[in-house]
A and B are shown apart, each in its own frame.
Chain A
Amino acid sequence: MSEAINVAPLARGSQWKQRFLQPLLRQRSAMAGLVILAIYVVAAVCAPWLATHDPTAQDLMAALQGPSAAHWLGTDSYGQDLYSRLLYGAQLALIIGFASVALGLFVGVAVGLAAGLMGGRTEWVLMRIVDGLLAFPELILAMAFMAVLGLGTENVVYALALSFVGPFARMTRGDVLQVKNQPYIEAAKLMGVGTAAVIWRHVLPNVVSPILVQAGMRISIAILLESGLSFLGIGVVPPTPDWGLMIAEGRAFITMAPWISGVPGLALAILLVALNLLGDGLRDAFDPNTQKDAG
């Protein structure tokens, strides 16, 4: 029996490196994604120093200008500097993307753990709520929450997080149910280890990697949804430097000044490609079943 406990896989320290880092490093496309993401992160963090203008400073005299020495990537119809807005937009996109996924993950995992571990009526009720969330496409759900919560950056995070709770909860519950019946969990319980300790030491480490992979893949969806909501006019409010808003604004000037929507549009597309590559790499690194498809 002690042997059964010893073989319980734990994701810690050197094992972490072996399980996570090495398989990822082996994939060239995932590495490319990682490098691009790193550039975006650096640009976002250093935006205050890299920016040449205040991202919301309007200068109607300099409106609709093409790229020049003064405005490296041109200006929009209010004369706002696109380069500076691009940098701050990266900041906003990454913050909203990570924050909403993190929040959705936290709530979803909590709900999933509660449902999976408690069982009975609690599980039934929780999972029916999750079913309700999962019965709608994410964007519709996010739009509905935006309608209830009202516009604004913070509310975008909440709306997206809420629309991510369902998948995380269902996944966590499934994993917990699978792990719960493993011999080493039974063994730990029989040895008198408390429930909380069992969850912390034995259940969580085993469900963590599939959930993290899922989280990684959700970030690109979150960023896409965030910019989409803003594009529709029901997300972040102007004049916040947001890529979705910038694309929406440039839409009217597409023939005269294609750079207005082109700059944020391409930035968004490249970031999403990078995140997808990274997500695929994460999935392949963790899930041996899909590794064959990677080739």
Chain B
Amino acid sequence: MNRALALNPQAVEVPASQDALLEVSNLTLRRGKAVVLDGVSLALHSGETLGLIGESGAGKSTLAMALIGLLRAPEVQLEGSMRFRGTELVTLREADYRRLRGNKIGLIFQDATAALNPCFTVGEQIAEPLKRHLGLSKWDRRERAAELMHSVGIPEPALRLDAYPHELSGGMQQRVMIAIALACNPELLLADEPTSALDVTIQAQIMELILDRVRALNSSAVFVLHDLALGAQVCDRIAVMYAGQIVEEGPSERVLAAPLHPYTQGLKSCVVELGSSTLVPIPGQIPPLNAMPAGCRFAPRCPRAQAICGEQRPVAETRDGRQIACWFID
């Protein structure tokens, strides 16, 4: 893992004018009356990794699901725009979206044990996107599936091809999940807490494997994580989410070194650092979706909150190369 830290890429400042692989602007997701995502904007360039950080319920997994098109109308209402290589995803026809899923956009689930169908062999499940998107023949699919399993570090792939998910360990299952997500060399990989269902001892291995494969394929990746320090370690940039909004977004080291938004500051002080005993929890919890404050959603828990915070939503401001949504950036 330390190697991953050391490898933290140098390309920090990406000119905004350069064409983005993924450009989300002012995305709002409603489920009935509840506003689950509120005016989310972010951009991701080719080869970049972005960490979505926040408490559970912050909407980060929802954002990932919306990006891959598993959460869309009529189940939920989407407004705003999500552009993938210039293609508008919000209004994309389902049939066209399907051609992106598992092909140009891959998704790694949190719990591989639950996300692998118990009734099909892992070989069959890896081969599925190969057939659907690449149209490989049966024999080629098998061969490619074995290659993929090898590339994600599964020993003796030829033997494991015909194994059922329950015959593999949790770590191996997650490796299979990664192989499926990467089967068609996606340009964008979404990873929803890819290691949180695993034993601590193999979490680092799996994280490193994903980073490794993403770099080898020169793909971009969005990691959904709840750990700010881990996010800063593995991602080029970080977007901190709170209650369906992005409150701070910028290059990893700067966000971690000197967070500007009070929520990010609170998250950072939650991180237990070795040798330090200052653990300051953020008081309170994310308000329920049907009782969101009208202004800044963090206001009820914010130490800096003033009258305006409760009334008006702060507009994201650029400061020190990052975007911060707060009325009182110090």
Whether A and B touch directly in their complex, counting CB atoms under 8 A apart, is answered as no
Q: Report B's interface with A, CB cutoff 8 A.
A: none
